Copies of this chain bind each other. A is one copy, B any other.
Amino acid sequence: MEKFLNLQDHLCFSLYACSRAISRMYRPLLKKLDLTYPQYLVLLVLWEKEQQTVKELGELLDLDSGTLTPLLKRMEGKKLIRRERPKTDERVVMVSLTEEGEALREEAVCIPASLFQSSGMSAEEIGALNETVKSLTERVSRFNSI
């Protein structure tokens, strides 16, 4: 006989609600940059390495082309990125930063601090939570692929 859990005892719900709460906190900050949260994540990846394929972006962000293709087209429309198929392999779409996209980095650099500030947690606590959550994701994902 399985014990029946309260909504509040479901870790899945806590994580789902927390992720949305953070996204909601970031939204007004990102709106000033005319960005959505997933678009911000794409920029985070490109600020680390300014040219990547759609496939690489998808692997890093764990998003498929059904999500990324229209998202990247919107970002291209805003002149934040370029999308081009290299002559050497026309299956691939290379995504690279424009100057505007690169320049946004300066304006966005303070966004993570808002989570740090609101969390009331120390850098160590945040780091530890991050590692725990990443480890959980990895195990769950591994479980998925079995």
| A interface residue numbers (CB < 8 A to B) | 2, 4-26, 37, 41, 44-45, 47-48, 60-62, 105, 109-110, 112-115, 117-121, 126-127, 129-130, 132-134, 136-137, 139-144
| Shortest distance between the CB of A135 and any CB in chain B (Å) | 8
Secondary structure at chain A's binding surface: helix, strand, loop or mixed? helix
* Chain B contacts for A16, CB-based, 8 A: 19, 22-23, 37, 41
Contacts of A5 in B (CB 8 A): 44, 112
11 A-B contact pairs sorted by A residue (CB < 8 Å) = A4-B47, A7-B60, A7-B61, A13-B41, A13-B44, A14-B134, A15-B15, A18-B134, A19-B19, A25-B143, A119-B136
Contacts of A26 in B (CB 8 A): 12
Q: How far is the CB of A52 from chain B (nearest CB, A)?
A: 12
Rounded to whole angstroms, the CA-CA distance of A107 and B118 in the bound complex is: 39
Cβ contacts under 8 Å, A140 to chain B: 18, 21-22, 25, 115, 118-119
Beyond A12-B26, A119-B136, 12 extra complex contacts between A and B, CB < 8 Å: A2-B113, A4-B47, A7-B44, A7-B61, A10-B112, A11-B115, A11-B126, A11-B129, A12-B115, A13-B44, A118-B142, A119-B140
CB distance from A46 to the nearest CB of B (A): 10
Also in contact, A118 and B133, with CB within 8 A (given A7-B44, A16-B19): no
